Amino acid sequence: MEITGPRLDRFDEILTPQALDFVAALHREFDGRRLELLEARQARQAELSAGGTLDFLPETKEIREGDWQVASPAPGLEDRRVEITGPVDKKMTINALNSGAKVWLADFEDANSPLWENCVAGQLNLRDALDRAIDFETGGKSYALLPDDELATIVVRPRGWHLDEKHANVDGRPVSASLFDFGLYFFHCAQRQLDKGKGPYFYLPKMESHLEARLWNDVFTRAQALLGIPHGTIRATVLIETYPAAFEMEEILYELREHSAGLNAGRWDYLFSVIKKFRTRGREFLLPERNAVTMTAPFMRAYTELLVRTCHKRGAHAIGGMAAFIPSRRDPEVNAVALEKVRADKTRESGDGFDGSWVAHPDLVPICQEVFDGVLGERPNQLDRLREDVAVTAADLLSVSETPGDITETGLRNNVDVALRYLAAWMGGSGAVAIHNLMEDAATAEISRSQIWQWIHNDITLADTGERVTKELVERIIAEELEQASKEPAYNEKLFGQATALFKEVALDDDFAEFLTLPAYARMP
């Protein structure tokens, strides 16, 4: 195994020969299957682009009709009423663990810019946190962990199956970023977590089929055997954030059942996937601007209702979506409106039967906790709410055309502005970015650019100005938004230049890039 990234301060504590041998062993055993599954994704996309559709799989009907349950909740995952997400930098690690949330999603994926330094230092921060060796001072302020029994449970999200780690090669091939992130954390921290009475827990992103979940399950089984960790110690929650996965929820739980910790409604990436999968199918799958698409849209309602029903039928936790608002200490009026929306969102989720939900900022933990406390009381979850009243069909999941809302110049400008600002920050090493009082990550940038691509290719006329969305119009708006951004103190001409070139490639090219992070990562050192 060859490491081509720099070995910075203390990196040798993570990139040990033994840890790298462990990652290499996983790569050699499983990377061939990963690549085959990525080819299967392309074949399925070709079928959809040619007029095919999504449906519940006839070949797995016995699984959906069978009598089985996932493993019972693992220590530290019984009560998940509030989960906070964020990147694995040192400050966030301490603040998230101290936040009062039950779970911290330690994110190497959408909230992380995958600079080599971020990926390895993040592993170091997780290990240091478990060793209680992460406290530090900066700018006259101290950051220190609370006692262990007051800390959130760590759940790590590795990068998706589609990504490589270009700074690590095995036998001349890049290592799967999934196996790199998972392997290093498991090698260094699995026993540390067990010693603290919990375990190595994971969130699994971007999967498109139960066969991809089967691959993860086989990785878990092998990893536990290699390190002598008892089988079933690992627990994983799957983000249902791709359109195909919504039709295979039960099968995904079944494949991971002895390692399953439930499903999460990854709603922003889900919207991106809806656009991506049916981007060539005309206006039947055309969404209004992203801020107009709410969780009450019929196809989104069907998706979340089915998720709760599926999870509770199988004894698995159902975790709700992200509240991305960032409270402002300078604008109480903005706060009041936004916090009411957060409260309404969490009230809907808790009323629907979700066992917990996500927030992006520590200041939102109390609101989410209050709402779920009102439903749960002293109970750790509401797995007993089986939601047998829910009956969702494939047509319900596919009812995108029933989504109310317009496409306006304001919405177009917002997509351009958010994407440019986010990509500039991402290229600079920040993957979770505060933009206009919202915590934006790669998922919202994906929605922004893919919507623009779809609007251009469907001759959309803006509801407020009457202009048609063309490449020329988008180019003009890009120039105007850059001019506005250039007046701000934090503007970085080099990073915005890189962001602009990347954005034009993924939003304006005739060919649709599967993930903007792929060409973005290729531009990174």
Residues that are catalytic: 157, 441
Q: How many angstroms separate the Cα of 319 from the Cα of each of 30, 111, 209, 347, 396?
A: 29, 18, 19, 13, 21
Q: Is 43 helix (H, G, I), strand (E, B) or coil?
A: helix
Please state at what angle helix 409-427 crosses helix 471-485, rounded to 10 degrees: 60
Contact 271, 287 (CB under 8 A): yes
Looking at residue 524, its amino acid is M
Burial group, residue 12, by CB count within 10 angstroms (0-12, 13-18, 19+): exposed
151 contact partners, CB below 8 Å, separation of at least 6: 97, 98, 145
Which of 483, 502, 360, 487 lies closest to 424 in space, CA to CA?
502
449 contact partners, CB below 8 Å, separation of at least 6: 415, 419, 503, 506, 507, 516
d(Cα 283, Cα 344) in Å, to the nearest integer?
30
Among all chains, which residue has been given the structure tokens 């602009």?
500
Please state at what angle helix 493-508 crosses helix 442-456, rounded to 10 degrees: 50
Q: Is 154 helix (H, G, I), strand (E, B) or coil?
A: strand
262 has which bridge partners? 237
Which of 148, 181, 147, 150 lies closest to 164 in space, CA to CA?
181
144, 148, 150, 156 alpha-carbon torsion, rounded to 10°: 90
Count the alpha carbons within 13 Å of 324 in the hemisphere toward its beta carbon: 19
Among all chains, which residue has been given the structure tokens 């960790």?
229
Token pair for residue 267?
A: 């709603």
Q: How far is CA 427 from the centre of its chain?
A: 19
